[in-house]
A and B are shown apart, each in its own frame.
Chain A
Amino acid sequence: MAKYLLLKHYRSASAPAPIACEPMDQWTPEEVSAHMQYMADFATRLEGTGEFVDGQALSPEGTFVRYDGEGRPPVTDGPFAETKDLIAGWMVIDVDSYERALELAGELSAAPGQGGKPIYEWLELRPFLSAPPTITE
């Protein structure tokens, strides 16, 4: 088994898909609900297959923070509302193979948008670094 992080990137300007997708606030309420329901159903289904670990949605606006020297408060930058690549959320899965992880990421990327059509959302698939195995030689 291996754990993977599915990062849901929302790339408004660089979507290669043939579907031109407007921001969510331009969808109908039913379309928004259908999109959310798809995510929830996906998570429930993965729990049923014994592959779900965790998942959360993130606020689109974040703040950059860094240390600024002894005795000084941290420096902050942002928020950047106009970013071209924001991370809308994430999910962690625990699956038997990389192929299975790809398959699931593809399914999650097909979440419905306007008109009930898949939004072709980009997902980034990142393997977790595991514990070291006992036997290596």
Chain B
Amino acid sequence: MDADEVLLRTLTPTVIGILVRRGADFAAAEDAVQEALVEAVRTWPDDPPREPKGWLVTVAWRKFLDGARADTSRRHREVLVEGEPEPGPGEAADDTLQLYFLCAHPSLTPASAVALTLRAVGGLTTRQIAQAYLVPEATMAQRISRAKRTVAGVRLNQPGDVATVLRVLYLVFNEGYSGDVDLAAEAIRLTRQLAATTSHEEVAGLLALMLLHHARRPARTGPGGKLVPLAEQDRGRWDTSLIAEGVEVLQTALARDRLGEFQAQAAIAALHADAATVEETDWVQIVEWYDELVRLTGSPVARLNRAVAVGQADGPPAGLAALAGLDPGLPRYTAAAAYLHERKGDPATAARLYAEAARSAPNLPEREHLTRQAARLNAQLRG
């Protein structure tokens, strides 16, 4: 991604905010800014503007007026622009925060909220979003239009719920990487930008969580997209500066003593990051953080992960006992059971469970990983 593209993406929410302050409704402002972005991508390489933000505002406003030409209120809008002061830095930050809330509005489906956030807050083009999610551009364009119609009646100055915004950003991050847009990096950028406009502890918690997981990315996949589990990763390939930043962001948030699920998850990731070798992992503390996470969320997935951690801290039988109360239909339940049975010294059961887990794996690298585990144990059993 070149410098212009970074700049364009960063300026997008600010410019939408300026257009809305001038009297444009959100949907029209967003369309106008998107058109201006497309024009910038086309013309800036040969003819860079002296004032990128001023250029974007001018071009987007012109696009907006073009779009509204048939509209009888056009004259009114032009009058409005006269004497309208540029928003100050504080107001621009408020505008950006409001855009996050609007794009993650609870009336939107998760997929719509993700698409709208990437376009209006992230400054990505519809084509880039479509490529990242492997759907045709026309489908993504419709998804975004519908999302904009859904929030058409929402006023931009209403306070929103940070938790809904965080869920959207988490989804973008967890989608991983496909196409030429790095969604994980994009999610980090958007979470950083959000952290700059609000001091909410969970925003910091999510940012720390993302940084700590992103730090492991170079070590997480082997040749051909092969999944390398945490215990087998080459920790020398973890990004230490991302880890340092993640730990610092997390510690600042934890010091304020308002714990939330993302801070707890980040704490678990930080404990893994802190271990120079897998043997040095502080599983007792990790179990304690999972206890917090279960208390905060009641999530069955957190209980499942806790059972695996208990298996490390107190031995496989304790882990299997922790697993016993959970729904076997949970994603990755069978894989966790297979792992604990192998560590308990029951390769036959483990092999059968790994094979079963492979059949219901939700993605190809995981399926292949689980199949290899089953194959390894079966070969061992044959002697």
Contacts and interface: CB of A to CB of B under 8 A. Distances in A.
Contact of B142 (A50, A127, A137): A50
B184 A134 contact: yes
Given A52-B136, A53-B134, A1 B110 contact: yes
Contacts of B109: 96
B176 A3 contact: no
Contact of B363 (A50, A53, A131): A131
Interface residues of A, number: 23
B95 interface: no
A40 to B, nearest CB: 15
A48 to B, nearest CB: 5
Q: Which of A96, A132, A136 has the largest number of chain B CB atoms within 10 A? A: A132
Contacts, number: 85
Interface in A80-137: 94, 96, 127, 129-137
Contact of B136 (A1, A53, A127, A131): A53
A56 interface: no
Nearest to B227: A132
A1 to B, nearest CB: 4
Nearest to A130: B363
Contacts of B142: 47-50
Nearest to A97: B109
A134 B146 contact: no
A50 B111 CA distance: 9
Contacts of B173: 134-135
B174 A133 contact: yes
Given A94-B133, A135-B265, A51 B139 contact: yes
A54 interface: yes
Interface stretch (B2-10, B314-322, B364-372): B364-372
Contacts of A132: 176, 227, 363-366
Contacts of B332: 136
A46 B217 CA distance: 35
Given A96-B109, A134-B176, A54 B143 contact: no
A96 B111 contact: yes
Interface in B204-263: 209, 213-214, 217, 227, 230
Given A96-B111, A134-B174, A1 B133 contact: yes
Interface of A: 1, 3, 46-54, 94, 96, 127, 129-137
In the A-B complex, the 6 residue pairs with the smallest Cβ-Cβ separation, listed nearest first, are A50-B143, A1-B111, A132-B363, A50-B142, A133-B174, A129-B364
11 contacts: A1-B111, A1-B114, A1-B133, A49-B142, A50-B111, A50-B115, A52-B139, A53-B135, A96-B111, A132-B176, A133-B176
Given A53-B136, A132-B176, A137-B305, 20 more contacts: A47-B139, A47-B142, A49-B146, A50-B111, A50-B144, A51-B143, A53-B135, A94-B134, A96-B110, A96-B111, A129-B362, A129-B367, A131-B175, A132-B364, A133-B175, A134-B174, A134-B175, A134-B184, A135-B174, A137-B272
Interface of B: 109-112, 114-115, 133-136, 138-140, 142-144, 146, 173-178, 184, 209, 213-214, 217, 227, 230, 265, 268-269, 272, 305, 332, 361-367
